[in-house]
Amino acid sequence: MPFIDQTWLLDIIALFWLLFFWIGYVAYTKRMNLSKNKGLLAAMNRTRKQWLQSLLKRDNRMVDVQIINGLIRRETFFASTTILMLAGVVALLGLGEEINDLFNQVPLSQQSSLAMLELRVGVLAMTFVYAFFKFTWALRQHTSSAILLGSLPHPDQIDQATEQQAVRMAKLGNLAARHFNDGMRAYYFALAELSWFFHPVALMFTTIWVIAVLYRREFYSKALSIME
């Protein structure tokens, strides 16, 4: 029997559907944020730049240190949580037959083989691996931002080189925020992937639903209207 038969065709289409819309949406939002300066992330980038400009005028920067520490704790929490979720997903492979029989008994679900279940679990696991790398990279960048913050001199000693260092700190924070945002998007798409365990068509619909939710929150949310 060939590796991909007719029973696998719809699942493969659904998988490429997910990857196409995920990659396409990330590319679209990056273009909107960086080139056209639109979206919630772009608004936060502008606010972060204002924060760094006011930071240079303060001699007591303990509040700024606490802000960065809060960002580091947030990313540490999500990175740790992602590892736990990844461990739970991998543990499903040990209960493959039982889990597959359970989903096959659900009404309107597609009858699938054990190999297909393992593929679905593998894709879900890779999604959390991707999220883990994004969270830890954002964590490292915010750690570097903390070092840059500590190296800023007293306001009386601010010169052009110091201002450029503050600009680099703002850019590093913006980059960290973008990677953290990518990790959060992976969580949303992981929720969509759960529907794949029932039927590949359900994955297609939930992928579009996730895109719609993300798009509205990033470009038409009340939070964005407040930030602008």
User: What is the Cα gyration radius of the chain?
Assistant: 22
Look at residue 222 and tell me whether its pLDDT is greater than 50: yes
Q: One-letter amino acid identity for 44?
A: M
Q: Write down the pLDDT at residue 142.
A: 92
Q: How far does Cα 182 stand from its chain's mean position?
A: 3
Q: Write down the pLDDT at residue 47.
A: 87
Tell me which of 51-55, 154-158, 179-183, 185-189 is least confident: 154-158
pLDDT tens, position by position, 89-113: 888 777 666 666 666 665 656 666 7
pLDDT tens, position by position, 32-64: 887 778 888 888 888 888 888 888 888 788 888
Q: Tell me phi and psi for residue 154, to 5 degrees.
A: -65, 150
Kindly list the domain boundaries of the chain, sorted by start residue: 8-33+40-227
State the chain's mean pLDDT as an integer.
Answer: 85
Across 93-97, 106-110, 121-125, 167-171, which has the greatest mean pLDDT? 121-125
